[in-house]
Amino acid sequence: MTDQAVSAPKLETDVSQLRCIACGAVRESDATNVRCAQCGDLLEVVYPGWKTSAGMRAAGLDASALKELWRQRRTSYNALDESGVWRFREVLPALSDWNHVITLREGNTPVYELPGCGRAAGVQQLYAKHQGMNPTGSFKDTGMTSAASFAREGGFRWVACASTGNTSASMAAYAARAGMRSLVLIPQGQITWGKLSQALDYGAVTCQLKTDFDGCMRVLDEVVQRMPVYLLNSVNPYRLEGQKTAAVELLERFDWQAPDHVIVPGGNLGNSSALGKAFLEMKDLALISTLPKLSVIQAEGANALVRTIRETGGKKLISVHAETMATAIRIGTPASWKKAVRVLEATGGAVEQVSEVEIALAKAEIGADGIGCEPASAVTLAGLKKLVKRGFVKKNESVVLILTGNLLKDPDFTLKFHRGDLFAGTPQEEEAESVLTPRQRAPMVLDASANTVVKVLEHAERVEPRE
């Protein structure tokens, strides 16, 4: 552990295993290979030790004992307990030495009510769980603390990822905390300055490749075959175990009564898979009695999962050439599509796609509720509106949007939006003008005079009075 030693005991009951999602081959957890040695498909972490004669139990504890233990840890200054991920370590794979944990005190993110957005979508109980309030500004930190700790335990000197920006920022930070080197592959010109600058500051070796995210992923797959480098993309099953804890935190916040709906943006589909896995496990462990419906929203221009569900019933992946201003989810061949399909089926969730103008409007509405997020996160609200119109989400049902990234990740998008430049010269220019103008707040350049400013104030009060 980088900051302070902890004396968490090794858990005795919960030896986790890695199981292939396709052929079912099983092996003991280890930190070296993220794919099935037999068939090459993705692995997932399973916990055979949870099955006991008294029912499903993590670390031998029943549901009420787990709830009490996790609640008590909130007052502790032990580094593992302060982390919103490791606080739930009974439902995570155990390290052989807890001092290998790398933590920036991730997780413990807030849940906010969204009254204005609720009115816009037509639902009475709307909340946001803001994963953009993590240490590097995105949900990736919850998975990174877990997978990077396994990299350290495995003795790796180098970790690597392909990224649309947030994974690379997070990986670079966690690697730096542990004295590991990090290699970042990003699509040239397709990630935001905020995210790129983070990777640089945290000391990553950063390569901007002349391709898209999917191309970066292909190159990296080859690099990790040839070099002793540990892959930290969300195909890494330990990433998803850490990301599960956002769902556990959410359930704890709602006093273990699951909301009716949880809505997640879909890119490479690791996050939706992780959250769904958590909901199913919490039900197995009797921490909740009903499951929320987990729905996944994609940008129209990066809609591989939506097409896969609608055109093949989830049987065969339809890859797309991805194009969206929500650069975080500009992904055409999502690696975790099979896991996401399974979660959709198990929880009864839906898929939906949203246009660029719908994303921009939703982002401004989330901002106007005083919360803010990056464009990829705003697909959740845009998608919710469509799910309400379709009748899939009912007016009186409770809904939680998972906001994945901080507003400050992509200030360029926000500035262009408010200046009215976002869709200039695009086919959506006219539509954007009629739909978005009322939400735009361009900065004004004025003479330095109190009179001028007072006039602006009076005008604002006339055109937009607030109660």
Residues that bind ligand F0G in the complex, under the rule CB under 6 A = 138, 140, 163-167, 234, 265-272, 328-329, 374, 376-377, 404-405
| Residue 81 β-bridge partners | none
The Cα–Cα gap between 447 and 456 comes to: 12
CB–CB of 78/8 below 8 Å?
Answer: yes
Nearer to ligand F0G, 120 or 328 (CB): 328
Nearer to ligand F0G, 10 or 321 (CB): 321
CB of 140 to ligand F0G, least distance (A): 6
CB of 187 to ligand F0G, least distance (A): 10
CB–CB of 366/378 below 8 Å?
Answer: yes
Nearer to ligand F0G, 166 or 398 (CB): 166
Nearer to ligand F0G, 210 or 466 (CB): 210
Query: Residue 398 in 3-state DSSP?
Result: strand
Q: Which of 28, 289, 244, 26 is nearest to 142 (CA)?
A: 244
Nearer to ligand F0G, 164 or 398 (CB): 164
Nearer to ligand F0G, 138 or 149 (CB): 138
Helix (H) or strand (E) holding 65: helix 63-72
CB of 453 to ligand F0G, least distance (A): 36
Nearer to ligand F0G, 102 or 269 (CB): 269
Q: Which of 297, 295, 294 is nearest to 278 (CA)?
A: 294
Nearer to ligand F0G, 145 or 166 (CB): 166
CB of 41 to ligand F0G, least distance (A): 18
CB of 13 to ligand F0G, least distance (A): 30
CB of 374 to ligand F0G, least distance (A): 5
CB of 376 to ligand F0G, least distance (A): 4
If one counts every other C-beta atom within 10 angstroms of the C-beta of residue 12, the result is 10
CB–CB of 102/178 below 8 Å?
Answer: yes
Nearer to ligand F0G, 16 or 134 (CB): 134
CB of 294 to ligand F0G, least distance (A): 12
**Residue 286 backbone class (left: φ over 0; alpha: ψ -120 to 50; beta: rest):** left
Handedness of CA 37, 38, 42, 46 (dihedral sign): negative
CB of 105 to ligand F0G, least distance (A): 20
The amino acid sitting at 251 is L
The Cα–Cα gap between 126 and 112 comes to: 9
The amino acid sitting at 86 is W
Tell me the two tokens of residue 339.
Answer: 């896991």
Residue 56 backbone phi and psi in degrees, to 5: -80, 125
Nearer to ligand F0G, 287 or 341 (CB): 341
CB–CB of 353/299 below 8 Å?
Answer: yes
Helix (H) or strand (E) holding 230: strand 229-231
Q: Which of 422, 400, 402, 420 is nearest to 410 (CA)?
A: 422
| 65: CB partners within 8 A, 6+ apart | none
Virtual torsion, Cα 158, 163, 166, 168, nearest 10 deg: 20
CB of 346 to ligand F0G, least distance (A): 17
